[in-house]
């Protein structure tokens, strides 16, 4: 238990201390909000979609959680490189608890990043539907964060260095983001795209987040949370298996 706590704390400390990283990671969501939000807003409104900023804000929050979470998971590669991974790997604690501590830490960090982006959306003019749903929003954010940190950890467990990182960004993370419905509604899509969006786990995260924030959603909470929860458990299991097999 103490192992999990100290490794969780380590992730938090590293996050809070890397201010340039926090601020740097805010640039992208801000750009999306401003450029897309105000750029496409009029078209979206004319097409009868309503306020695009309201639609976009949950998507951009989900995006920042996705990126931060995947990156937190991938951080294992850094630790492998700087040798710190070895320090934890030879300690007389189960690899499971190391993995859980790191993943919870990474997920907490990603949630904090998501909260910061949420606050930014407020400045851009976004207003959540109801304050009462904020705890649910918080929970959803954490679930998304947990899921993608676990996926990041699983991926990083099999990568030796950063050469595969670009591959993962371009063929996994970016498609997951663009096909999640973060930027466009899921109605009336071509069949192939509709199918792709439905196998993208982030889709359910974005949908649930939208449900808690603006009260409109494509699926329903029951489906969203079961998919998110199920895939989180699955990737935790796969992740800890791969993590336990790491040799350095």
Partner 1 sequence: MTDETIIDVHDLSKKFGELTAVDHISFQVKAGEIFAFLGPNGAGKTTTIKMLTTLLHPTSGEIRMNGFDPVHEQSKARASFGIVFQDPSTDDELTAWENLELHGILYHVPKQLRRQRMDALLKIVGLDDRRNDYVKYFSGGMRRRLEIARGLLHHPKILFLDEPTIGLDPQTRNHLWNYVKELNTKENITVFLTTHYMEEADRIAHRIAVIDHGKIVALGTSEELKQKTNTTNLEDAFLALTGSSIREEEASAVDTLRIHSRMWRRRS
Residues lying near partner 1 in the complex (CB under 8 A) are found at: 2-3, 6-7, 10, 13-14, 17-18, 20, 77-94, 160-163, 247-248
Count of other CB atoms within 10 angstroms of residue 229: 14
- Identity of the residue, 80 or 210, whose beta carbon is nearer to partner 1 in the bound complex: 80
Minimum distance from residue 114 beta carbon to partner 1 (Å): 22
Minimum distance from residue 197 beta carbon to partner 1 (Å): 35
- Identity of the residue, 20 or 188, whose beta carbon is nearer to partner 1 in the bound complex: 20
Minimum distance from residue 19 beta carbon to partner 1 (Å): 12
- Identity of the residue, 169 or 223, whose beta carbon is nearer to partner 1 in the bound complex: 169
- Identity of the residue, 162 or 171, whose beta carbon is nearer to partner 1 in the bound complex: 162
Count of other CB atoms within 10 angstroms of residue 163: 8
Torsion of CA 2, 228, 58, 215, to 10 degrees: -120
Minimum distance from residue 142 beta carbon to partner 1 (Å): 23
- Identity of the residue, 161 or 187, whose beta carbon is nearer to partner 1 in the bound complex: 161
Minimum distance from residue 207 beta carbon to partner 1 (Å): 36
Rounded to an integer, what distance in angstroms lies between the CA atom of residue 27 and that of residue 118? 13
- Identity of the residue, 2 or 188, whose beta carbon is nearer to partner 1 in the bound complex: 2
Minimum distance from residue 85 beta carbon to partner 1 (Å): 8
């Amino acid at each position: 238990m103490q192992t999990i706590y100290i490794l969780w704390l380590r992730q938090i400390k590293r996050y809070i201390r890397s201010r340039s990283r926090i601020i740097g990671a805010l640039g992208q969501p801000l750009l999306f909000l401003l450029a897309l939000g105000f750029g496409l807003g009029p078209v979206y409104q004319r097409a009868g979609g309503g306020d695009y900023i309201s639609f976009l804000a949950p998507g951009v929050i989900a995006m920042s959680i996705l990126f931060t979470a995947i990156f937190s998971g991938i951080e294992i590669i850094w630790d492998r490189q700087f040798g710190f991974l070895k320090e934890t790997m030879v300690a007389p604690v189960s690899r499971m608890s190391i993995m859980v501590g790191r993943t919870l830490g990474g997920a907490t960090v990603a949630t904090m990043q998501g909260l910061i982006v949420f606050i930014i959306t407020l400045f851009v003019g976004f207003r959540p539907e109801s304050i009462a749903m904020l705890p649910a929003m918080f929970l959803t954010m954490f679930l998304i964060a947990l899921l993608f940190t676990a996926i990041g950890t699983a991926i990083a467990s099999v990568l030796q260095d950063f050469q595969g990182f670009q591959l993962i960004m371009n063929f996994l993370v970016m498609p997951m983001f663009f096909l999640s419905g973060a930027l466009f509604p899921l109605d009336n899509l071509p069949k192939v795209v509709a199918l792709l969006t439905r196998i993208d786990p982030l889709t359910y995260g974005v949908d649930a987040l939208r449900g808690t924030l603006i009260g409109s959603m494509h699926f329903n909470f029951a489906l969203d949370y079961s998919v998110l929860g199920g895939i989180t458990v699955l990737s935790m299991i796969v992740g800890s298996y791969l993590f336990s097999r790491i040799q350095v």
